[in-house]
Amino acid sequence: DAGVIQSPRHEVTEMGQEVTLRCKPISGHNSLFWYRQTMMRGLELLIYFNNNVPIDDSGMPEDRFSAKMPNASFSTLKIQPSEPRDSAVYFCASSREWGEKLFFGSGTQLSVL
Amino acid sequence: SQQGEEDPQALSIQEGENATMNCSYKTSINNLQWYRQNSGRGLVHLILIRSNEREKHSGRLRVTLDTSKKSSSLLITASRAADTASYFCATNNQGGKLIFGQGTELSVKP
């Protein structure tokens, strides 16, 4: 079991650029979550999917953020255009069943200059 | 808005002592979960307690849940330096959301 795989591990970009974060959940898991972690705001739930369908995206901060899950083994979180305040660690997590324990990826450290 | 709030924000103890962290929440839940995060790493699930359970054990971990007070506690017994990490509670509500608190930073000194 390879665990939840996120890429890239680190991303440094300039303000205004498009950023795409990728996540491969654990095979057989049917729920996927995107979180953002900062010192000031802690762990924020951005969006979550169940069976590839977005259930709640109320945590997505602005229209600049979008997330997709085209199939059960892949999800992306896109920021366009990026801003310095988007700098954070972005985590993807998956669970076997709705509402059960989450398995987290190692995160993507995003720095927007 | 955050559902779970941990207390204390930071805790420093000596190896061998017990560490207790508390979590309070606001709305009804299906279950409450505790996670651990080492610096620079992803979160790791520790234990899940359902709304109809009052206490659960896993190794040196003991979790209690009081739904009438909307609170939970995590006890780590006989702490070790390797237990140094941040600990988060997360509440799972009716809609399947898992919302995390701000965490307790635990430091165990050898």
Other Cβ atoms closer than 10 A to A15: 12
Residue A54 contacts residue A47 (beta carbons within 8 Å):
yes
Evaluate whether A24 touches A57 at the Cβ level (below 8 Å): no
Predicted local distance difference test score (pLDDT) of residue B1:
42
What is the per-residue pLDDT for A1? Answer: 62
> Is any Cβ of chain B less than 8 angstroms from the Cβ of A97?
no
Chain B residues closer than 8 Å to A93 by CB: 42-43
Instruction: Closest CB to A48: pick one of B42, B88, B97.
Output: B97
The values of phi and psi at residue A11, to 5°, are -140, 125
Using one digit for the tens of pLDDT, what is the confidence trace for B34-67?
999 999 899 999 999 999 999 999 999 999 999 9
The proportion of chain B whose per-residue pLDDT surpasses 90, expressed as a percent, equals: 84
pLDDT digits (tens, 9 = 90+) for A36-76: 999 988 999 999 999 999 999 999 988 999 999 999 999 99
Question: How far, in whole angstroms, is CA B88 from its chain's centroid?
Answer: 5
- Count of CA atoms in the C-beta half-sphere (13 A) of A79: 26
Q: What are phi and psi of A52, to 5 degrees?
A: 75, 0
